Amino acid sequence: MKIRFATLDDVPAFVEMARTFHSLTRFREYDYNPERVAANLGAVIENPRGTHCFFVADDSDGKPVGGLIGCVESHFFSDRLVASLIHYDVLPEKRMGGAALKLITAFKKWAENRGAFEISAGVNSGADLDRMDRFLRKLGFQLTGGNYSLLMNPGTQSPQ
């Protein structure tokens, strides 16, 4: 398993992987807009300020099997830097291959190199929460809150 920074060449593969990730979460009822996903991935990769990262986990054949997108920024009420996970996932059939651990390790090192005071990892996908909780706790994270949502217009799709 190799971890590396994403390139623009990775965008098409991740647009399709994101479709899989999307279908496995509470967000599956949301419309999936591949053009928007591609534009957002490209913006993270080309981030000129260096505040965002996009790590890719490649299997032994060099095929992407997962990724982690994160950022580092000053907290709203403080000058302390906080590194936050934006998206973090590995294809279901590849989840026991070490990619998840290597991705978060790379993110931790990236955050440390930028002087982050804390890493914040919100889990709002609704997918496999118990497993993610055990994984993050083993890495030293502690539970500090919760995620809540309120669906405003059930049965409607947002405009694309």
> Which fold, 2-138?
Aminopeptidase (3.40.630)
Give the predicted TM-score (pTM) of the model: 0.88
Predicted pLDDT of residue 156? 60
Predicted pLDDT of residue 7? 97
Between 143 and 48, residue with greater pLDDT: 143
Q: Which residue, among 48, 53, 145, has the nearest Cα to 107 in the 3D structure? A: 53
Quick one: average pLDDT of 122-126? Answer: 74
With the C-alpha atoms ordered 44, 46, 49, 50, is the resulting torsion angle positive or negative?
positive
Predicted pLDDT of residue 119? 95
